[in-house]
Structure 1
């Protein structure tokens, strides 16, 4: 008698759980439909002037040439993903696969916190002069790798 009650309770629990999952899946589908706006209607074709159409006013002035970015500016911009003139730790580490390999001391393609903190924490803290938690352009320039000395002759 006790075993049959146990089995009936188990079957009833399984049915309730299955029904709950179906209800939950239905609610999430309804919620997704309510959150997504309808796509905008197709835009009408914008009329374009022909090659012989008259122009209005004087010709626009020529755009000034962009200044050539220095090596450090290009390097900084490569890491500054959100273009806010500051590099966060996440931005600094996002594209550094070679640096990752150097940090992974045991070579298992997994970086433990100890491996990472030992090398990058001290370097970032040393470069972050104002202790703000991110690097300005001037602070980032201090992290540039030192260039190898070039040979004086081509022997």
Structure 2
């Protein structure tokens, strides 16, 4: 009795397989035609226009940007608190074991000294000109190749 449903199921599987084989036959790939490159109308002996040089960044604008980032309240002056505050998070990352070997004052002593050296008028705030003296020294350019 099970031979009849088994035969019907086999016939259905064969028909389904034939259908998938018929639908999956390979077709020739469609070749897209590319348009011809645009011809440049240059006469023999005609000179091309020179390519302008890329603009370079003005060091003054870089310094203004650096000052604006450090001047958190935008009053045109940098206080010691504004200069030290961004260093608290990196300090917290460094001081993880709590063994008492690294204190914030010890870690920030270079920053405090740099601030006091840059504060030429002694008003406990840096003007843009005073802050410019704290700029990091530019790194020497490395040669492009090792030849």
- TM-score by length of structure 1 reads 0.45
For CA contacts below 8 A with separation 6 or more, give which structure has more relative contact order.
2
Structure number with larger C-alpha Rg: 2
